[in-house]
Amino acid sequence: MALLSSTVPPALRSKRRRERARTLAFLSPWLIGFCVFFLYPLVSTVYFSFMKYDGFAPPTFTGLKNWDYVFTKYPFFWKGLGNTLWLVVVMVTLRVVFGLGIGLLITKVKSGAGFFRTAFYLPYLAPPVAATMAFAFLLNPGTGPVNHLLGEFGLPQPGWFTDPSWSKPALTLLAMWGIGDLMVIFMAALLDVPTEQYEAAELDGAGPFQRFRYVTLPSISPIVMFAVVTGVIQTMQYYTQAIVAGKVASGVIGGSGQQFEPGYPHGSTWTLPQMVYNLGFQRFDTGSACVVAVILFAISMAFTSILLRRKSGFMTED
């Protein structure tokens, strides 16, 4: 590799030039996409975070005003950050634990495995808007079947999407319903654990829990890690379910024209991505929206770098 250019014979040099052109040609669609749909908007987002711009009149420079506003004068920012944190801690954890549990279950099922696999996987496919709409109906406090069933058994009937302390748990339930992606990943990882290790552990007198703790977990831990990190990044983008649930539950959707209370009920489903939408496309405060976008970028980049650091998975050694 450390060849000096002077020692490279002309034939090889022209071959390399051809190779370079070829590489560039193969990469070109993505290179353009990278510039136009990634690099440019990123730079531009930072630029607009220092501008006052309402999407109509020409933008003007305002220095740090937008940043000051978002951090010190815009209480909804901290509320949204808090909700996002809640979702990261509770929703991601529960999803990973539940996904692992369902993955384990499916590897143990002996009869009707195909049926169960499909049944467990199916909800993941439901389009998010449709799934959220369905859950808003199922969990509708007054008339939905879930509360009706809970009532039959004499259990408490929460307000779900209409109660600030139950709306995030309801969203978590929805996220656990669509566990299919994690189930398949965990299932594949569990089947990859060498059976000899289990047999050896069993000979040593290890019970099922010990086997799980000392054999299964260590060998699937990279996948658990992967599920957690991608889960966190997905949560940073968590948007559709939260906004649709809020709109449907508050009854303010579509053309009904009433002022939608963002994050209904009482800001409990208000997340960072919704903030970008609300500030940018409802309040038309493009500058502040870009401030939030930059923050969102910084957080998701931090987690992405965890993935990137695990080079072995992505990079090739050859």
Partner 1 sequence: MTLASSALPRKGAGTVSSAAARTARRRELLNWVAVHSLAIAAALFFLLPFVFVFLTSVMTDQQALTSDMWPHQWQWSNFGKVWSTPGFLTWWRNTLLYAGAGTLLTIVSSLPVAYALAKFRFRGRNLALMAVVSMMMLPPQVTVIPMYLFWAKQLHLTGSLWPLIIPMAFGDAFTIFLLRQFLLTIPKEYMEAARIDGCGELRTLLRVVLPMAKPAIAAVALFQFFYCWNDYFGPQIYSSENPGAWTLSYGLESFKGAHHTNWNLTMAATLLVMAPVIVLFFFAQRAFIEGVTLTGVKG
Partner 2 sequence: MDITRRSRRPLAAVTTLACLGLLATACTGTNSGGGDDGSAAGKDVTITFWHGWSQDNEVKAINDNIAAFEKAHPNIHVKVVGNIADDKSEQALRAGGPDAPDVVSSFTTDNVGKFCSSHVWADLGPMLKKDGIDAAKTFPAAMLKYSQYQGNQCSLPLLGDAYGLYYNKTAFAAAGITAPPKTFSEFAEDAQKLTVADGDSYKQLGFMPNYHGYETAIAHYLGQYGTGYFGADGKSNIAGDPTVTAALTWQKSMVDKLGGFDKLEKFRTGFGDEFSAKNPFTTGQVAMSLDGEWRTASLADDKPAFEWATAPFPVPDDQAATYGRGYQTGTIVGVANGSKKQSAAWELVKYLTTDTDAVVSFANAIHNVPSTVAALNSPKLDADANFRTFIDIAKNPNSSTTPASINGGAYQVSLQNLSYDVESGKQTDLKAGLAATAKEIDDAVNQAK
Question: 162-221: which residues touch partner 2 (CB under 8 A)?
Answer: 162-164
Residue with tokens 């089947």: 191
Q: Is 181 exposed, middle or buried (0-12, 13-18, 19+ CB in 10 A)?
A: middle
Question: 280-299: which residues touch partner 1 (CB under 8 A)?
Answer: 280-281, 286, 289-290, 293-294, 296-297
Q: Which helix (H) or strand (E) holds 107?
A: helix 93-108
Answer yes or no whether residue 255 interacts with partner 2 by CB under 8 A: yes
Residue 141 DSSP symbol: T
Answer yes or no whether residue 288 interacts with partner 2 by CB under 8 A: yes
Q: Which is nearer to partner 2, 43 or 122 (CB)?
A: 43
Question: 124-183: which residues touch partner 1 (CB under 8 A)?
Answer: 125-131, 133-135, 137-138, 140, 143, 145, 148, 177, 180-181
Evaluate whether 117 touches 106 at the Cβ level (below 8 Å): yes
Residue 317 DSSP symbol: -
Q: What residues does 52 pair with on adjacent strands?
A: 60
* Backbone angles phi and psi of 221, in degrees to 5: -60, -35
| Out of 102, 175, 242, 245, the residue judged to bind partner 1 by CB under 8 A | 102
* Residue 9 contacts which entry, partner 2, partner 1, none (Cβ below 5-8 A, type-dependent): none
Binding characters for partner 1, 37-56, by CB under 8 A (x = yes): xx-xxx-xx--x------x-
Binding characters for partner 2, 72-111, by CB under 8 A (x = yes): -xxx------------------------------------
| Out of 282, 301, 305, 310, the residue judged to bind partner 2 by CB under 8 A | 282
Nearest CA to 260 out of 230, 237, 238, 283 is that of 283
Q: What share of the chain is helix, strand, coil (3-state, %, to 5)?
A: 75, 0, 25
| Out of 35, 64, 105, 302, the residue judged to bind partner 2 by CB under 8 A | 35
Q: DSSP assignment of 217-284, as one string? A: HHHHHHHHHHHHHHHHHHHHT--HHHHHHHHHHHT--GGG-S---TTTTTTTT--HHHHHHIIIIIS-
* Residue 262 contacts which entry, partner 1, partner 2, none (Cβ below 5-8 A, type-dependent): partner 2
Instruction: Identify which range of 119-127, 171-179, 210-218, 247-255 contacts partner 2 by CB under 8 A.
Output: 247-255
What lies within 8 Å, CB to CB, of 229 at 6+ separation is 303, 306, 307
Q: Which is nearer to partner 2, 54 or 204 (CB)?
A: 54
| Residue 53, number of CB atoms within 10 A of its CB | 19
Q: Which is nearer to partner 1, 90 or 134 (CB)?
A: 134
* Residue 213 contacts which entry, partner 2, partner 1, none (Cβ below 5-8 A, type-dependent): none
> How far is the C-alpha of 247 from the C-alpha of 309, rounded, in Å?
39
Question: 148-167: which residues touch partner 2 (CB under 8 A)?
Answer: 157-159, 162-164
Q: Print burial letters for 73-90: b (CB count within 10 Å at least 16), e (below 16).
A: ebebbebbbebbebbbee
* Residue 138 contacts which entry, partner 2, partner 1, none (Cβ below 5-8 A, type-dependent): partner 1
Q: Which is nearer to partner 2, 25 or 203 (CB)?
A: 25
**Footprint on this chain of partner 2 (rule: CB under 8 A):** 2-5, 8, 13, 16, 20, 24, 31-32, 34-36, 39-40, 43-44, 47, 53-59, 65-66, 69, 73-75, 141-143, 157-159, 162-164, 251, 254-259, 261-262, 265-267, 281-285, 288
